[in-house]
Amino acid sequence: MSAGDSFLTTPFTFFASASSITRCGGRPVFADIDPATFNLSAPAVEQAIESQHPAKLKGIMPVHLYGQCVDADAFDALAAAHGLVIVEDAAQAFGATWKGRHAGAIGRTAAFSFYPTKNLSAFGDAGAVTTTDVAVGEHMKRLRNHGAARRYYHEEIGWNARMDGIQGAVLRIKLRYIEQWNQRRREIAANYDQLLQKAGLTGARGISTHVDASHPVALPATAAEAKHIFHQYVLRADRRDALRDFLHQRSIGCEIYYPVPLHLQQCFAYLGYKPGDFPESERACAEVLALPIFPELTEPEQQQVVAAIAEFYSN
């Protein structure tokens, strides 16, 4: 990518998805999300391309948000139709698949994060990039090593972006367990679904993304083609901020990923977006709440979380 190129992504993601575009001199262009999965909507991307004709559009960066892959088939078709590359933000999706295709092997390149909060986490900061293109792989290896394939011979200007050995050692051991940990996350998610339904907090399963006083909670939806790894278990909740405060008062960890969509971040004001441009992303920012999820979470702890949510909505 060169200065002035644009790259399309979702406004409902962590900041780094879009800042990675600006760091390459590119201009982020946003399209709205699918309200069921919270992932970048392929039809919205298509519409953005056809109605806005973004200048020098080079590619699309879908984000496998919360551990669920985007619709890889739809993004393949978009890339082919418009001559674009797909760069995956797979930071939250180690082990996730779409029809058996792994996150990280869907686009031309992908980036993973092993930050300590991630489902596959190191002892400190770490990450990895993947590619399906051998030449790009060689380029990545040079870039991480000050642009040199051979010591002290620099073909280009890179960085020191090598993973610390200590982080690699931790990850190498954890890799043995990641499949079972991801499976455990899926079981915990299914159990939350059941407990929340039994508590009478939800509307019709999988149909509605709407919450109101009579059905205050909407469960996360998983596409049939996706193997979700539930990096996060994220609800929509009526009176979300008050529920978050209530759970925090009871020492139940919960978090809002993300309270402000990227098109309304101060640092991106120069892009010229305004409130209302991406209504589903803005609604998600106002309604989502992530409940505790990690492989060691116990059944009684899950019951405690759901009981606290039920107590909140009984008032």
Ligand X SMILES: Cc1ncc(COP(=O)(O)O)c(C=O)c1O
Q: For ligand X, give the closer residue by CB, 88 or 280.
A: 88
For ligand X, the binding residues in 100-139 under the rule CB under 6 A are 113, 115, 127
Among 34, 71, 88, 89, which residue interacts with ligand X (rule: CB under 6 A)?
89
| Closest separation in Å from C-beta 260 to ligand X | 15
What is the nearest approach in angstroms of ligand X to the Cβ of residue 81? Answer: 26
- Per CB under 6 A, does 14 bind ligand X? yes
Q: Determine how many CB atoms are found less than 10 A away from the CB of residue 123.
A: 13
- Contact segment (CB under 6 A) with ligand X among 12-20, 170-178, 262-270, 302-310 equals 12-20
Q: Which of 49, 70, 91, 170 binds ligand X (CB under 6 A)?
A: 91
Closer CB to ligand X, 17 or 41, in the complex: 17
Q: State in angstroms the smallest separation of the CB of 280 from ligand X.
A: 17
Nearest-approach distance from CB 89 to ligand X, in angstroms: 5
The residue nearest ligand X at its CB is 113
> Which stretch, 10-18, 68-76, 157-165, 178-186, contacts ligand X (CB under 6 A)?
10-18
Nearer to ligand X, 19 or 208 (CB): 19
CB of 112 to ligand X, least distance (A): 8
Our CA angle for 33, 37, 39, nearest 5°, is 40
Question: x/- binding map, residues 189-228, to ligand X, per CB under 6 A?
Answer: ----------------------------------------
Total interface residues for ligand X by CB under 6 A: 11
Question: In the set 37, 41, 92, 302, which binds ligand X (CB under 6 A)?
Answer: 92
Question: Residue 230 and residue 222: Cα distance in Å, rounded?
Answer: 10
Q: Is 181 in the site for ligand X (CB under 6 A)?
A: no
Site string for ligand X, 34-73 (x = CB under 6 A): -----------------------------x----------
Beta bridge partners, 221, equal none
Q: Does 10 bind ligand X (CB under 6 A)?
A: no
Distance of closest approach, residue 64 Cβ to ligand X, in angstroms: 8
DSSP string, the chain: --TT-EEEE-SSS-HHHHHHHHHTT-EEEE-PBPTTT-SBPHHHHHHHHHHH--TTEEEEE-B-GGG----HHHHHHHHHHHT-EEEEE-TT-TT-EETTEETTSSSSEEEEE--TTSSS--SSS-EEEEES-HHHHHHHHHHTBTTEEETTEESS---B-PPPHHHHHHHHHHTTTHHHHHHHHHHHHHHHHHHHHHTT-B-STTT-----SSS-EEPPP--TTEE---SSEEEEETTHHHHHHHHHHTT---B-S-SS-GGGSGGGGGG---TTSSHHHHHHHHHEEEEP--TT--HHHHHHHHHHHHHHHH-
Please provide residue 202's backbone torsions phi and psi, each rounded to the nearest 5 degrees. -110, 160
Strand pairing partners for 236?
218, 288
Q: If you search the block for the tokens 């200048």, which residue do you land on?
A: 55
Would you count residue 17 as binding ligand X (CB under 6 A)?
yes
Residue 16 touches ligand X, criterion: CB under 6 A: yes
125: its two tokens: 């900061």
Q: Please state the closest distance from residue 122 (CB atom) to ligand X, in A.
A: 9
Which residues are near ligand X by CB under 6 A?
Answer: 13-14, 16-17, 63, 89, 91-92, 113, 115, 127
